[in-house]
Amino acid sequence: MPNTPQYFFLASFVLTFSLLFFIQSQVSKFLASKDIKLVNLLLLGLPKDPQHPEMGSHSIQDFVKNLSQEDAIALVQTPAFLASAGLVAVTVIYLALFTGKRKPVLNPSEWREFPLALKSQISPNTAVYRFSLPNKNDTLGLPIGQHIQVSAEIGGKVIMRSYTPTTLDGFDKGHFDLLIKTYEQGNISRHFSLLKVGDRIRVKGPKGAFVYTNKLTGHLGMIAGGTGITPMYQIIRSSVWDASDATTINLIYANVNEEDILLRDELEHLHHNSAGRFNIFYVLNNPPAGWKGGVGFVTKEQVAHYMPSQEKDCKILMCGPPPMMNAMKKHLEELKYPAPRTVSKLADQVFLF
Ligand SMILES: Cc1cc2nc3c(=O)[nH]c(=O)nc-3n(C[C@H](O)[C@H](O)[C@H](O)COP(=O)(O)OP(=O)(O)OC[C@H]3O[C@@H](n4cnc5c(N)ncnc54)[C@H](O)[C@@H]3O)c2cc1C
> Domain count of the chain?
3
DSSP 78-118: SHHHHHHHHHHHHHHHHIIIIIS-PPPS--TTS-EEEEEEE
CB 129 within 8 A of CB 192: yes
Residue nearest to atom 53 of ligand 1 (CA): 162
Q: What is the pLDDT at residue 18? A: 81
Boundaries of domain holding 257: 219-352
- Pair 203, 229 in one domain: no
Q: Residue 307: inside a domain, yes or no?
A: yes
Cβ(233) – ligand 1 distance below 6 Å: no
Taking only the tens place, the pLDDT of each residue in 50-94 is: 666 656 556 666 666 766 777 777 777 777 778 778 878 887 777
Q: Residue 214: inside a domain, yes or no?
A: no
Q: Please indicate whether residue 163 is annotated as part of the active site.
A: yes
Which one, of 70, 72, 44, 71, lies nearest residue 56 by Cα? 44
Report percent pLDDT > 90 for the chain. 69
CATH number at residue 176: 2.40.30.10
Residues in CB range of 78: below 8 A, 6 or more apart: 26, 27, 30
Q: Which of 99, 133, 152 is the last residue of a domain?
A: 99
Q: Is 166 annotated as a binding residue?
A: no
Q: What is the pTM of this model?
A: 0.75
| Catalytic, out of 126, 129, 139, 164 | 164
Q: What is the pLDDT at residue 1? A: 57
Q: What is the pLDDT at residue 32? A: 76
- Pair 93, 177 in one domain: no
Using DSSP's 3-state secondary structure scheme, residue 285 falls into strand
Q: Residue 106: inside a domain, yes or no?
A: no
Dist. CA 181–CA 221, nearest whole Å: 24
